[in-house]
Amino acid sequence: MLCPDGGCQDPPAGTGRPPRHPPPTVIEMPRTAVFSGRTVTRPTIDDIARRAGVSKSAVSFALNDRPGVSPATRERILRVAAEMNWRPHKAARALGGARADAVGLVVARPAQTIGAEPFFGLLLAGLQSGLSARSVALHLMIVEDTAAEIEVYRRWTSERHVDGFVVVDLQHRDRRVPVLEELGVPAVVLGGPSGHGTLPGVWADDREAMLSLVDYLAALGHRRIAHVAGDEAFHHTRRRMRALKDAARRLHLADAVSVPTDFSDAQGASATRALLSGPRRPTALVFDSDVMAVAGLAVAAEMGVAVPAGLSVVSFEDSLLTRIVHPSITALGRDTFGLGGQVAATLLAAIDEPGSVRDVKTATPRLTVRESTRAPYPRTTA
Amino acid sequence: MLCPDGGCQDPPAGTGRPPRHPPPTVIEMPRTAVFSGRTVTRPTIDDIARRAGVSKSAVSFALNDRPGVSPATRERILRVAAEMNWRPHKAARALGGARADAVGLVVARPAQTIGAEPFFGLLLAGLQSGLSARSVALHLMIVEDTAAEIEVYRRWTSERHVDGFVVVDLQHRDRRVPVLEELGVPAVVLGGPSGHGTLPGVWADDREAMLSLVDYLAALGHRRIAHVAGDEAFHHTRRRMRALKDAARRLHLADAVSVPTDFSDAQGASATRALLSGPRRPTALVFDSDVMAVAGLAVAAEMGVAVPAGLSVVSFEDSLLTRIVHPSITALGRDTFGLGGQVAATLLAAIDEPGSVRDVKTATPRLTVRESTRAPYPRTTA
DNA sequence: GGGTTTAACTAAACCGCTCTAGTAAAAGGG
DNA sequence: CCCTTTTACTAGAGCGGTTTAGTTAAACCC
């Protein structure tokens, strides 16, 4: 059954059409590729076919678990393939119209920001973990601005470089959404519940979260709450600001102001300084990000405002940061890693069965109470 | 010259061999692909050739800036290609033996860690920025352990999925190095100056940095310095520990102990607690990472040890974190973003011209003095 | 036992692009 | 003016898979 070592060539009824170019002197060795001067052998299904004494097609059938080969032959082919340490050539498969088995994540942010926020890294890790379970790779690209981001969407789509995209940082009237819709490529937007057109969105209920947060602070006795918000261009920032307003009205709070920033520690710090120096100093500060919360904490310390005695601090985003500082910061936590996994699952579903996928609402962030919050001094119960 | 609209088929002397399968009724339209139920047109060089009235080869020559077409024809072809919004099909090119135009970064770390450290995100951003200048994509993979990491190296190499790898977290007697050498794939190791075999390494002089750091603390009057180190499995951790020992001997310090940890905030905190509760309390603590430094700062605050009055704190790694906490932390800073760029450049060079690349020593980290360091109380000048 | 079905396998088209070999015409050379 | 060289182009092999159509030979059915 098995060919003698060294490989046999087309044993049963080989047509043996002559090789086209100068006939190679040796045809037994699997073709080699050159990497850094050293040659690396790389068997193809042709090599396997020759060794196993069957045709290319039989090998393909066997390797892909398709009918058309007998169990015995199948097993033999698989054994030979394993022996030769064969792996499919991605490009060759892709050329045949198969998937790229990769999804793209293109981020338009100043590079420094990427590293700064734990959020991004965790999301990345969760995304990866969800994708790698299905052996789908993640192509990451960091670009200057939205225009460049859109260009990458166009290029990668037409090059069939990826099977779909993950879109982050959903903005108000986001320009990327119509482009992706037009390209017709599967994509999942991190954000919602609106503003992402027909693309499926994965979102957490920021509104609900803000309402519960304000409820908690009000229950403690806080009547003057300020919100150091993120960038107003972002969808979720706007939702949070609106939710604070609504909660304040419902609870008849004395003060409830939102100050937009660019998410940077610098602007977070200066907003905090301004709020704490104002005439009607808030008794509680809500920060839209962990980085800003920590920066705000430092400002309070510098200004001699004790936390939580003189000021309660809450972060809208939980992470390592809020845990390790002193005092540790009460924060709304969501499972960012898990979120990444959900996004991955949604995107894979959208790739497999376009149209079948609808929005996914993730668990509403829950409050972890730490050292930075407490009832305000009586005097502030204006 | 130009064909009439609608496309002309093989105008000059077309052989016109009959189509093999059922002859298509319409052959004018460029082939289409289906994405999510909608069809997306995707012209191939054949479509361009037909439209421009030339052969496939001529189109290929024109698009790749190769000789073999007259300037006039070349221009015409380029115009048609632009009109049809043609883009090369990556897989098709790759199949011909071309580059994958991508490099891989495989990280074996607990997912949570990825997000925690600003270092990683910054490195990623710098890497990306260096790569995208040459339109090389980054394939990111996060795996469980080193075994899985090695498996990915093997798979991606044989699948021709990437042209090279970036290797991070160099360990003592690193198992990955011999595998990559055996695979013969271009790879750059972040770390050095030794332990990475024949692979080029990009490294910062941790030894030099530690020496200068201890010099600084000693000059302030500190004689008892403790070092909350990272994981001893890592190469750079060992180098730092050894450097501290050497510096202590040279400067005749009273105490200079290194406590290894797993880099986590928890172990950083407990190490700090242990050191501060001991009989001969150090007057200065050096932390191997920014996260541990911040955690250590919190422990000091809890224990009522004032920083910098009763304890100086230094971080071996600078980032946003060390800047935003209060007191801000004196830290050894390196340009992590730039480092990523250097790694990218080195890897691209290694891919282009294997063997030509040697190790790259980056700038030695420099100390940024902030609020967390000061001369110790006289009593400790034992 | 003749005809039909099925299983197991082979041949080769095909995906989109690159690149070598070949060809005809124009240019150059003595 | 004939021969060689160069230029501008075409044909088609080849990359490594998948997949369809075709080819046996065995199995099945009255």
Residue B285 sits in a domain of what CATH number? 3.40.50.2300
* % pLDDT > 90, chain B: 68
B238's enclosing H/E stretch is helix B235-251
A272 min Cα distance to partner chain B (Å):
13
Question: Which chain B residues are closer than 8 Å to A160 by Cβ?
Answer: 33, 89-91
Q: Which among B114, B141, B324 has the least Cβ separation from residue A132?
A: B141
Question: Which chain A residues are closer than 8 Å to B123 by Cβ?
Answer: 115
Q: Is B78 exposed, middle or buried (0-12, 13-18, 19+ CB in 10 A)?
A: middle
How far the first Cα of chain A sits from its last, in Å, is 93
What's the confidence (pLDDT) of residue A355? 79
What's the confidence (pLDDT) of residue A27? 34
Find, in chain A, the residue whose alpha carbon is nearest to that of B97: A33
Find, in chain B, the residue whose alpha carbon is nearest to that of A269: B324
pLDDT at B205 over 90: yes
> Residue A187's Cα: distance from chain center in Å?
12
Q: How many CB atoms lie within 10 A of CB B92?
A: 17
A136-165 pLDDT per residue, tens: 889 988 888 999 999 999 999 888 889 999
pLDDT at A98 over 90: no
User: Has residue B93 been placed in a domain?
Assistant: no
Q: Which among B95, B138, B160 has the least Cβ separation from residue A95?
A: B95
* % pLDDT > 90, chain A: 68
**Residues A183, A249: one domain?**
no
Contact assignment for B36 to A184 by CB distance below 8 Å: yes
* % pLDDT > 70, chain B: 87
* Total of domains in chain A: 3
Read off the pLDDT of each residue in A307-326 and give the average, rounded to a whole number.
94
| More confident site: B87 or B284 | B284
The residue to which tokens 């609900």 are assigned: A208
**Residues B217, B191: one domain?**
no
DSSP at A367: E
B66 C-beta less than 7 Å away from strand C:
yes
Question: Which chain B residues are closer than 8 Å to A184 by Cβ?
Answer: 35-36, 38-40
Find, in chain B, the residue whose alpha carbon is nearest to that of A159: B89
Task: List A41's β-bridge partners, or say none.
Answer: A32
How far the first Cα of chain B sits from its last, in Å, is 93
B41 C-beta less than 7 Å away from strand C:
no
Question: Which chain A residues are closer than 8 Å to B116 by Cβ?
Answer: 118, 121, 319-320
Contact assignment for B35 to A186 by CB distance below 8 Å: yes
| More confident site: B301 or A357 | B301
User: Has residue B319 been placed in a domain?
Assistant: yes
**Residues B158, B251: one domain?**
no
Q: Mapping DSSP to helix (H, G, I), strand (E, B) and coil, where does residue A106 land? A: strand
Contacts of A37 (CB under 8 A, 6+ apart): B354, B355
pLDDT at A208 over 80: yes
Among A373, A142, A40, residue whose Cα is nearest residue B160: A40
pLDDT at B6 over 70: no
What's the confidence (pLDDT) of residue A112? 65
pLDDT at B369 over 90: yes
Bases on strand C under 7 Å from any protein CB:
7-21
**Residues A261, A178: one domain?**
no
pLDDT at B4 over 50: no
Q: Mark which of B88, B119, B147 sits at the end of a domain.
A: B88
**Residues A262, A373: one domain?**
yes
User: Has residue A320 been placed in a domain?
Assistant: yes
B142-200 pLDDT per residue, tens: 888 999 999 999 999 888 889 999 999 999 999 999 999 999 899 999 998 999 999 99
What's the confidence (pLDDT) of residue B231? 93
Task: List A128's β-bridge partners, or say none.
Answer: none
Report which residue type is found at B92.
A
B205, B213 contact by CB (below 8 A): no
DSSP at B10: S
The residue to which tokens 């760029």 are assigned: B341
Which residue's C-alpha is at the least distance from the C1' of C13? B20
What's the confidence (pLDDT) of residue B378? 66
Read off the pLDDT of each residue in B257-266 and give the average, rounded to a whole number.
94
Name the least confident of A93-102, A181-190, A256-265, B338-347. Answer: A93-102
**Residues A150, A75: one domain?**
no
User: Has residue A97 been placed in a domain?
Assistant: no
pLDDT at B71 over 60: yes
User: Has residue B293 been placed in a domain?
Assistant: yes
**Residues B186, B226: one domain?**
no
Give residue A41's pLDDT band: very low, low, confident or very high (50, 70, 90): low
- In angstroms, the CA B84 to CA B68 distance is 22
**Residues A251, A374: one domain?**
yes
What's the confidence (pLDDT) of residue A45? 94
What's the confidence (pLDDT) of residue B133? 84
Q: How many CB atoms lie within 10 A of CB B239?
A: 21
What's the confidence (pLDDT) of residue A119? 84
User: Has residue B94 been placed in a domain?
Assistant: no
User: Has residue A96 been placed in a domain?
Assistant: no
Question: Which chain A residues are closer than 8 Å to B269 by Cβ?
Answer: 324
Read off the pLDDT of each residue in B228-248 and give the average, rounded to a whole number.
95
**Residues B266, B197: one domain?**
no
Q: Mark which of B38, B60, B88 sits at the end of a domain.
A: B88
Name the least confident of A285-289, B24-28, B211-215. Answer: B24-28
Residue B45 sits in a domain of what CATH number? 1.10.260.40
**Residues A135, A176: one domain?**
yes
Read off the pLDDT of each residue in A172-182 and give the average, rounded to a whole number.
95
Structure tokens at B192: 């050095």
What's the confidence (pLDDT) of residue B271? 98
Among A311, A283, A294, A286, residue whose Cα is nearest residue A229: A286
Q: What angle do CA B190, B191, B194 make, to 5 degrees?
A: 135
* % pLDDT > 70, chain A: 87
pLDDT at B32 over 70: no
Find, in chain A, the residue whose alpha carbon is nearest to that of B303: A326
pLDDT at A15 over 50: no
Question: Which of B113, B127, B158 should be substituted to probe chain A, the one whose Cβ sees the most A Cβ atoms within 10 Å?
Answer: B158
Give residue A7's pLDDT band: very low, low, confident or very high (50, 70, 90): very low
pLDDT at B52 over 50: yes
**Residues A374, A245: one domain?**
yes
- In angstroms, the CA B314 to CA B321 distance is 13
**Residues A165, A82: one domain?**
no
| More confident site: B126 or B20 | B126
- In angstroms, the CA A304 to CA A310 distance is 9
pLDDT at A39 over 90: no
User: Has residue B96 been placed in a domain?
Assistant: no
Domain extent at residue A356? 102-204+337-361
